Amino acid sequence: MPIRKTKPQTRESRPGGGGIIRVALIPKIKGIPYFTSCYNGAKEAAAEIGNIELIYDGPIDGDPRKQAEMIEQWIVDRVDVICISPNAPDVVANAMKDAQAQGIHVLTWDADSAPDTRAFFINQATSQAIGLGMVNAMIQDVGGDAVEGDVVIISSDATSDNQNSWIDVMKPALAQSRLRLQTIKYPGENSSQALADATDVIRKFPNLKGLFGISSVSFPGAAEAVEQTGKSGSIQVVGLSTPNSMKPFVERGTVKSVVLWNTVDLGYLTVHAAHALAHGNLKPGDTTFPAGRLGNLTISNDNILLGDILIFNKQNINQYNF
């Protein structure tokens, strides 16, 4: 889609400059529970702030080229802030830079891209916390440090920046344990393919002790594969997904630990940051950020930190509804 180049405008001279701020929120994939819950938090923040037009749209198949096309259209439409969870940072980078060149603020959330493509990253938790959190949960769930065996990671796309950053933490942590990482599968944001990949490795590795499902799509797919192959209890499944998606697996005992963060809060924080950025109340060099009901949050370099990970299990998972 060609971009109609115009002279860069300040926020004050664009539509919404003196009143309504137009915020475009782009998930990796639209229509799955993880990003729907983020959107619910974004809507909460928009209603609380009161002068935001929130536009939520994204590809239904996770295609990053469609993300880039949406950004290009929003450049033409003159939105004030674009908040994107990039599925393939290299694919959307040029469109993000074009938006900045036209005076549009750009944030990343959930997944990051190169620092020159955005102002800040709304970071749900550090890669270290997420990667180690999953490995530690797996070691605990298989029976402790003394247990030996094979594990497999079911990721999403091979180009996914956040999944790859978690894997970079998981690999050395697993190397120091008695669990051997045999392979990594990349089913994309496709639940049927995640199920197929997990089923394949269950059959291939007879000493498989654990499956990591490190996306909100691959985790339930891996858990379903364990149930379908009759391996519940003998193969542990640990990963990242919303508690509502994993409650049935936790209740049946297939999954003991669900690792995540509060996705509603992630969307809520993203819209607060977008509003502050558009008004000049969020600037490079800031070390804290007041985020509504979340209070003052830490800014580390250009990362606004939501907080630490949450571990959902049979004892607490019913306390959460997202």
Q: How many CA atoms are closer than 13 Å to the CA of 34, on its beta-carbon side?
A: 22
d(CA 78, CA 281): 20
Q: CB of 124 within 8 A of CB of 306?
A: yes
Q: Taking 80 as the threshold, does the pLDDT of residue 55 lie above it?
A: yes
Tokens of 320: 């959460």
pLDDT-above-70 percentage for the chain: 94
pLDDT score for 102: 98
Q: Taking 90 as the threshold, does the pLDDT of residue 3 lie above it?
A: no
- pLDDT, the chain, mean: 94
pLDDT score for 5: 37
Provide the whole-model pTM.
0.88
Q: Where are the domains of the chain?
A: 11-124+262-307, 127-260
pLDDT score for 62: 92
Contacts 24+ apart (CB under 8 A), 297-302: 297/269, 299/120, 300/123, 302/115, 302/119, 302/120, 302/121
Q: CB of 187 within 8 A of CB of 153?
A: no
Identical fold, 11-124+262-307 and 127-260: yes
What sections of the chain are H helices per DSSP? 33-49, 64-77, 89-101, 127-142, 161-175, 191-204, 218-228, 243-251, 263-278
The superfamily CATH assigns to domain 127-260 is Response regulator (3.40.50.2300)
d(CA 65, CA 319): 38
pLDDT in tens, 9-32: 444 434 344 589 999 999 999 999
pLDDT score for 7: 37
pLDDT score for 19: 85
Q: How many CA atoms are closer than 13 Å to the CA of 171, on its beta-carbon side?
A: 9
Q: Which of 273, 311, 270, 306 is nearest to 125 (CA)?
A: 306
Q: Which of 63, 28, 68 is nearest to 266 (CA)?
A: 28
More confident residue, 320 or 7: 320
d(CA 57, CA 294): 25
Q: Taking 60 as the threshold, does the pLDDT of residue 2 lie above it?
A: no
Q: Selecting from 3.10.20.600, 3.40.50.2300, 3.90.870.10, 2.40.160.10, what CATH number does the domain 11-124+262-307 have?
A: 3.40.50.2300
pLDDT in tens, 230-285: 999 999 999 999 999 999 999 999 999 999 999 999 999 999 999 999 999 999 99
pLDDT grade for 134, boundaries at 50, 70 and 90: very high
d(CA 258, CA 170): 16
More confident residue, 11 or 220: 220
d(CA 98, CA 172): 38
